[in-house]
Structure 1
Amino acid sequence: MNIIVTDDALEWFKNEMLIEEGAHVRFFAKYGGSSAVQEGFSLGVSKDEPGEPAAEAEKDGIHFFVEESDLWYFDGHDLHVSYNAKLDGPEYEYKKS
C-alpha cells in the first residue's frame, strides 16, 4: 500500500492540524460513516506516533502512516490525499494497487 499526499493537502495539514516538520499523521479506520472501500466505516486522521506501520510516506519532513491493524480497511488500495477547495479540507481517493 502507498500513501500519496499532494502539496495542497500537505499545506492543509500544516495549517489546520498545526503539523510541523518531524510530526506524524496517522490515517485509521473508524466505525461509522461510509467510504468507497468499506461500508459502515470511514477514514480518521490524527497526530500520533507509529507503533507497527504497514505503510508510510514522508513529505516535507512530515510522516504519514497507516498501522498494520488498520490495513484491512484499505482492501488493497493506495490512499491518495488531495485538497478540495470547495470543502476547504482533504479529499481521499482509493486506487487499486
Structure 2
Amino acid sequence: MKIIISPEAKQWFKEDMEAKSGEYIRFYARYGGSSSLHEGFSLGVTKEQPLDLAIELVEDDIHFYIEDRDIWYFDGHDLHVNVDPKRKELTYSYEK
C-alpha cells in the first residue's frame, strides 16, 4: 500500500494547511461519516508528529503518513489524494 498525492493536492496542503518543509501530515481513520471502504468511518487529516509510522511519502520535504493503527482502514488499497477543482476540497480514492 502507498500514498499518492497529486500536484494539486500538494499545493492544497501548502496553502490551506500551511504545510512547510519538515512537517508531518497524518491520514487517519475516524469514526463518523462514510467512505467507499467502510460505512461509519471516514478519512481524517491532521498535522502531527508520528508515533508508529507505517506508510510514508515525502514530497517537497513534507511527510505524508499513515500510522500502523490506521492501516486496517485502507484494506490493502493505495490512497490517492486529489482536489475537487470546483469545491477546492481534498478528495480521496482507493485503488488496489
TM-score, with length taken from structure 2 = 0.97
Residue in 2 that maps onto 1:93? 93
Runs of 4+ more than 2 Å apart: none
Residue in 2 that maps onto 1:36? 36
> For 1:44-94, what per-residue CA distance to the aligned partner results, in whole angstroms no more than 9, with x for missing partners?
000011111111001111000000000000011000001111110111000
Residue in 2 that maps onto 1:14? 14
Residue in 2 that maps onto 1:82? 82
Aligned residues: 96
Residue in 1 that maps onto 2:23? 23
Provide the rounded CA distance (Å) in 1 between the counterparts of 2:75 and 2:59: 24
SS in 2 for 1:49: coil
Provide the rounded CA distance (Å) in 1 between the counterparts of 2:68 and 2:12: 26
* Root-mean-square deviation (Å): 0.6
Residue in 1 that maps onto 2:60? 60
TM-score, with length taken from structure 1 = 0.96
2:79 maps to amino acid: L
Unaligned runs of 5+ in 2: none
2:12 maps to amino acid: W
> For 1:19-56, what per-residue CA distance to the aligned partner results, in whole angstroms no more than 9, with x for missing partners?
11111000000000000111100000000111111110
2:66 maps to amino acid: V
SS in 2 for 1:20: coil
